[in-house]
Structure 1
Amino acid sequence: MPTPASICLLRTSAIGDVTHVVPLVRTLQAAWPQTRLTWIVGKLERKLVGDLPEVNFVTFDKGAGFAGMRAVGDALKGQRFDALLQMQVALRSNLLSLFIKADQRIGYDKARAKDGHRLVVNQRIPARTGEHVLDAMGSFCEPLGLKQTQVRWDIPIPDEAHAWAAEQLPGEQPTLLVSPTSSHVLRNWRPERYAAVMDHAATRGWRVVLVGGPSELERRLADAVIAACRHAPLDLTGKDTLKKMMAMLVRAPMLLTPDSGPMHMANTVGCKVLGLHAASNPNRSGPYSDRRWCVDKYDEASLKYLGKPASEIPWGSKIERPGVMDLIPVDEVIDRFEACAAHLGLA
């Protein structure tokens, strides 16, 4: 198969998912350094990955509706790609892909396609089940004749972000970062349970730092967590940026979080993740490199809410039901904290 001159990647969101695309970009660059890569990405997500070298980014403003799609079309006017990697199956993304001209239009297999996806692609990735989202993204190079055999991120972090993180987290005291909020609210744990784990870490000599974005949901949950704490954490909610968060994750050995973007950001820099999983399957969407420190109640949730074990429900099913995260007890999270601390030599 000849080396493609140009490839367009379409994955606009969300934060966790765009981190899963970065290793694919690295795979393509390593195999075909002369191939021009263009990535259609969301406004927020571009703030995290938009400085990857040798990639032309085109921002899609999903809030602008059809005008946002037309703006992408205008930015690509006159361009035709050898291949489009259509890595998002939502209706909006399928419509957006119609503004991109490409000979090969590679999409998901039939089982994972929806919302008219089959109408906008002419090739499909191999049909597989039981794989992590990152591996599914990586398989988009297979119809081009490549295989992703290494996973590398190296997302750039500016010096000023490192300097800011050093000011917030000075010295050698081990830091537990706590990012309590997923945009999927039914994935969020109870404030008093976060507080119990945070208080435990504080009594063990750890610096505990609450982090999150500027949204009202994140501020409200952060306030509830702080109110339940006996040992006040350092509250940086709404004060960082995505790059500053990455820099903090470089300095912090551990992050406590539900299935969310920060979980995958942490994984890219080797920060260990105390992941809270009941609504989602950690083997599909948990921290890719190391899931030993996650608390996994997904099978229990499947039995309780769906009446069958996780092995009998479709791969990737989300069990986002009221109360599902209550299946995760505080003592099991503290156990994972202690085990991870011991592994890191910080017990």
Structure 2
Amino acid sequence: MKHPLPAHPAHLCVLRLSALGDVCNLVPAVRALQRQWPQVRITWIIGRGEYSLLTGLSGVEFVVYDKSSGLAGMRRIWRELGDVHFDALLHMQQSIRASMLSLGLNAGVRLGFDRARAKDWQTLFTQRQLEPHPHAHVLESFMDFARMMGVGDTRLAWDIPLPPEAVTEAGQWDAGRRTLVISPCANPRLRNFRNWSAAGYAAVIEHARTQHGLTTILTGGGSPQEREMGAEIRRHCSSAEPVDAIGATSLKGLLALIDRAAAVIAPDSGPVHMANAMGTPVVGLFATTNPERAAPYCWRRHVVNRYPDAVRTYMHKSPEAIVWGSRVRHADAMSLITFEDVIGALDRLLAAPRPLDDPRQESAS
């Protein structure tokens, strides 16, 4: 017997800890739930960095889980929420850590991904699963939770707030200039080859300056890899010196900087989805991950897509023959992206900086 889903929920729990891009892609599902039930309470259990990006999101109560705190952090959340009953737990994180955390939460029904999309045995921790949705974009996978709950209006909305101090912070970097934001590095993970070349970025910076009058601001975290990438990009630049803000902005400040930019260029990483959420034109660089699954959702027609070439070259298969969402684990895959690919996409984007009017209709056509 299937566990029933609540027809008129009073209190919902969203469980999604990470990552920055994923939580940006999840916000439209939260907004859809809020439109369906304006009085519903939504408690979102979220990671610490992700909270700093979304803090202030209207109508959402955040409970922050520090992933480094392990079991002690889970017990703290269980104590904090011990007297709370949720009508439904929307288990949107496919990880064993999140599933363990879910065990201490009191919910009438636990809704998770279908078997094709679930990972780390998530289906063992849920009572209801989504309907199958082959080849779904990440944003659509999250929206499927709202659909399963009975939501019909799935219009896209974000409305992520920018506090005045974040706007001031951004203004200190762009100084009112028309800017291109480049976030050159994805989050470093084992065999996660998403970064393009410093020389390529430098050439794009020169082109953006001479052809479009854009000042480039380099952004990113403060890791040694990111700082070295920034330094190498600057070494390759001749006449168009970028502003180096790598490791120097808060997440809200970066969001404000992206909001004010003429365009953003980045690999598959948080900033492309932050740009998408703010309505900023964005060129995503994709070779090792499938943009049909993970591109900035409203700007997919502007991505540089060398993923099919990388699959054929380094996996020796056709894109149709591999599992949906497979990554190309080869250090040279991003080298398939050329300077001409990127400036061509940037030129087209700046000539007609409009997102897709209805990206879901286009993807289905």
TM-score over 0.5 for the pair: yes
Aligned to 1:310: 319
Match of 1:216 among 224, 229, 232: 224
Aligned to 2:173: 168
Contact persistence 1:5–1:35 (CA under 8 A): yes
Match of 1:94 among 70, 84, 99: 99
Aligned to 2:193: 186
Contact persistence 1:24–1:148 (CA under 8 A): no
SS in 1 for 2:109: strand
Aligned to 2:282: 273
1:42 aligns with 2:51: no
Counterparts of residues 186-265 of structure 1 (less than 5 Å): 186-204=193-211, 205-230=213-238, 231-265=240-274
> Which shifted more, 67-76 or 40-49?
67-76
SS in 1 for 2:185: coil
Q: Provide, for residues 187-223 of structure 1, a one-character-per-residue CA deviation record: whole Å limited to 9, x for no partner.
A: 0011111111111112222111111122222212111
TM-score, length basis structure 1: 0.95
Match of 1:20 among 16, 19, 25: 25
Contact persistence 1:9–1:85 (CA under 8 A): yes
- Code of the residue aligned with 1:178 in structure 2: it is I
1:72 aligns with 2:81: no
SS in 1 for 2:297: coil
Q: Tell me, in whole angstroms, the C-alpha distance in 1 between the residues paired with 2:143 and 2:298.
A: 15
Structure 2, unaligned stretches of length 5 or more?
1-5, 355-365
Q: Tell me, in whole angstroms, the C-alpha distance in 2 between the residues paired with 1:157 and 1:236.
A: 19
Q: Tell me, in whole angstroms, the C-alpha distance in 1 between the residues paired with 2:257 and 2:246.
A: 13
Counterparts of residues 101-140 of structure 1 (less than 5 Å): 101-140=106-145
Structure 1, unaligned stretches of length 5 or more?
none
Q: Tell me, in whole angstroms, the C-alpha distance in 1 between the residues paired with 2:352 and 2:132.
A: 37
Match of 1:152 among 150, 153, 157: 157
Q: Which runs of 4+ in 1 moved over 6 A?
A: none
Contact persistence 1:139–1:148 (CA under 8 A): no
1:295 aligns with 2:299: no
Aligned residues: 344
SS in 1 for 2:114: coil
- Code of the residue aligned with 1:313 in structure 2: it is I
- Code of the residue aligned with 1:22 in structure 2: it is V
Contact persistence 2:16–2:46 (CA under 8 A): yes
- Code of the residue aligned with 1:177 in structure 2: it is V
Contact persistence 1:10–1:86 (CA under 8 A): yes
1:29 aligns with 2:29: no
SS in 2 for 1:182: coil
- Code of the residue aligned with 1:17 in structure 2: it is D
Q: Tell me, in whole angstroms, the C-alpha distance in 1 between the residues paired with 2:8 and 2:245.
A: 47
Contact persistence 2:283–2:299 (CA under 8 A): no
Contact persistence 1:277–1:297 (CA under 8 A): yes
Aligned to 1:83: 88
Q: Provide, for residues 150-179 of structure 1, a one-character-per-residue CA deviation record: whole Å limited to 9, x for no partner.
A: 0100100011211222232233x4311110
Q: Tell me, in whole angstroms, the C-alpha distance in 2 between the residues paired with 1:20 and 1:251.
A: 20
TM-score, length basis structure 2: 0.91
- Code of the residue aligned with 1:207 in structure 2: it is T
Q: Provide, for residues 220-258 of structure 1, a one-character-per-residue CA deviation record: whole Å limited to 9, x for no partner.
A: 211111112112111111111111111111211111100
Aligned to 1:341: 350
Q: Tell me, in whole angstroms, the C-alpha distance in 2 between the residues paired with 1:157 and 1:48.
A: 9
SS in 2 for 1:167: helix
Shift of 1:344: 4.2
SS in 1 for 2:104: coil
Q: Tell me, in whole angstroms, the C-alpha distance in 2 between the residues paired with 1:192 and 1:136.
A: 36
